[in-house]
Copies of this chain bind each other. A is one copy, B any other.
């Protein structure tokens, strides 16, 4: 596991105005991303407060050296795939040199301001070339809640507590936060009809997930042992696995979700590193003691002791009329990343156990991270019991599923006594009408 060091010191201050105490990006976070300004080229950057530091410019100014400079050079084309491929060493070197550069009493503090760009004036892009995208199903409360709608007597299938169930998702339609999502057309068969119909989805939903960026990857035929799986993780993001429940319900047998999901996936654009998240590591909590032990290829003592993440997650929703009225987004649910039945290392060890190769820039989704209570459910399918019980927003509006103009906002935050809080930035998108 990643060590706690001076870069996690909650007393550390930065020379960048306004960044100390920033809810997402204080100096203890330093997430990596790709930005552009105006019509400019895409550049690798790091978030600090409300600013983005241009990494290539910092390297060109001689402020990053050795392994850190090598990491930045690998991202000079304006995407981070090559940097992720280098693994933990260069990434940690970069974190340490950035921390030294940005701290309030740093010897080079006066050289920082020319490297900064106001985030509000920048566009954030997908940080890497996503080769393959795999979505897991490790949120056990979500698996139970959705399973119950189909099988009241046996919500969890027999394989759930043995297999980190996952499926291949669509990489081409993943977009960064802020890009609107078009309501899809699709084929569905409402229960009262004998034949399917084609039209705009009437049961559009969100799903609250974490995304995991893959670093070095593995060769085809060379599984990643569980004890080495954490070394494959380059970082984390938020992920909204938009779902058209009516399309999904009609299409998914026998080969799984397809067009019910492939129209859009939204991710937060900053890669929050394993180093930044070290203070929020915790023991695996979601596996009750009477459950079957994982098979040996999924079992590692260090992973059991610290392979889970304690991150507070929120879903908020604003409607077209609530935004017009100037109302704050309505908080629909609060959950936590601890509600994962399988750790990220278990997901990776399982994924590669048959020899499947992961490549730098591949993305994994955790699956929906619902908590045990209705106010912690990660999808409307669960919160409204499949559309039967509407939720009432602060504006008085009701929702069974998403309506055009709705904006869904996901956030994640690490909070732990003795450490600075950090966040992921927003993962948000507005629903546009069907074409």
A residues apposed to B, CB below 8 Å: 131-132, 137, 147, 157-159, 162-163, 165-173, 175, 182, 184-187, 189, 195-198, 201, 220-223, 244, 247, 250-259, 262-264, 292, 295-297, 350-351, 353-359, 362, 435
Give Cα A167 to B169, complex, Å. Answer: 8
Q: Which 9 residue pairs spanning A and B have beta carbons closest together?
A: A256-B256, A184-B354, A168-B168, A167-B255, A262-B356, A182-B221, A263-B354, A255-B256, A259-B354
The reply to whether A259 and B351 form a contact with Cβ atoms under 8 Å apart is yes
The reply to whether A250 and B159 form a contact with Cβ atoms under 8 Å apart is yes
A237 CB, min distance to chain B CBs, angstroms: 19
Q: Kindly report how many copies of this chain are found in the complex they form together.
A: 2
The reply to whether A195 and B263 form a contact with Cβ atoms under 8 Å apart is no
The reply to whether B185 and A223 form a contact with Cβ atoms under 8 Å apart is yes
Give Cα A189 to B184, complex, Å. Answer: 38
Give Cα A132 to B169, complex, Å. Answer: 9
The reply to whether A251 and B165 form a contact with Cβ atoms under 8 Å apart is yes
The reply to whether A132 and B170 form a contact with Cβ atoms under 8 Å apart is yes
Complex partner residue of A185 from B169, B182, B353, CB under 8 angstroms: B353
A434 CB, min distance to chain B CBs, angstroms: 9
Give Cα A182 to B352, complex, Å. Answer: 13
Give Cα A258 to B354, complex, Å. Answer: 10
A92 CB, min distance to chain B CBs, angstroms: 26
Q: What residue in chain B is nearest A250 (Cβ atoms)?
A: B159
The reply to whether A168 and B258 form a contact with Cβ atoms under 8 Å apart is yes
Give Cα A167 to B295, complex, Å. Answer: 28
The reply to whether B172 and A358 form a contact with Cβ atoms under 8 Å apart is yes
Give chain B residues whose Cβ lies under 8 Å from the Cβ of A157. Answer: 253-254
Give chain B residues whose Cβ lies under 8 Å from the Cβ of A362. Answer: 172
